[in-house]
Amino acid sequence: MDIQRSDGGPGGGQPPAAARPGPAPRPRPADPGAPPGPSTSAAGPRPVPPAADAPADPADGRWSRQRLWLGVGAGSVILLLAGGVGLGVVLYADATTPRTDTPDATVDNYLRALLVDRSIDAARDLACPQVGGLAAVEDLRDEAIDREREFPDGRVQITWGALATTPEGPGRVTVETDVSVMGVFDSQVRSRRVDTWRFGLVSDGGWQVCRAEKL
């Protein structure tokens, strides 16, 4: 009797066993000398396009225009104020400077400075440099001051009337007026005298009082 082999050899009834797969190959370690980083192609890194400029804010433009107009407005106000101050100074000077453009205005301002304000300096600003011819009217001022010192309860009030101008030649005139000297006590006139005075004036960049005499 024939005996069959069971070792899977030729002539056996079993097919040969399949081959077992071997272990998968390990990845190749990176070169320790190469720097880490992303791999690049042979052409090098792609250039990064520049960032687009941000659009201008419309509010910035409006604010710049507002500042410009504010600056212009402030400058205009300063100029107006400076002009107003200058004009005020000129008007004040004109209002406080005695007039000497006419003979009668000059005599009126001279008598006011000398006999009402009792200021020798202010009166001589309206007089000729040589004031010897004005001694008589300056004595009238001194007389009024002495009477007020003698009678402290009273005062001397001096007024004058219309001013009449008479030409005497080129740049020379005389002005006549009645001067009233009153003694006032307790708001009542207790004494009064009226004298006519004549003043001589010359024109030298404005009229000046050069002499005074009681007629």
Across 102-206, where does the E strand assignment appear?
154-160, 164-169, 172-185, 188-203
50 within a domain of the structure (yes/no): no
138 within a domain of the structure (yes/no): yes
92 within a domain of the structure (yes/no): no
Candidates 106, 121, 111, 174; CA nearest to 141 is 111
Model pLDDT for residues 153-173, shown as the tens digit of each residue: 999 999 999 999 999 999 999
37 within a domain of the structure (yes/no): no
205 within a domain of the structure (yes/no): yes
Q: What is the pTM of this model?
A: 0.58
And the tokens for 201?
Answer: 């004036």
Domain that holds residue 168: 103-214
Model pLDDT for residues 31-46, shown as the tens digit of each residue: 555 555 554 444 555 6
Whether the per-residue pLDDT at 177 is higher than 50: the answer is yes
**Residue 136 neighbours by CB under 8 Å, 6+ apart:** 212, 213, 214
- Quickly tell me which residue has 């009030």 as its tokens: 157
- Radius of gyration for the alpha carbons in the chain, expressed in angstroms and rounded: 60
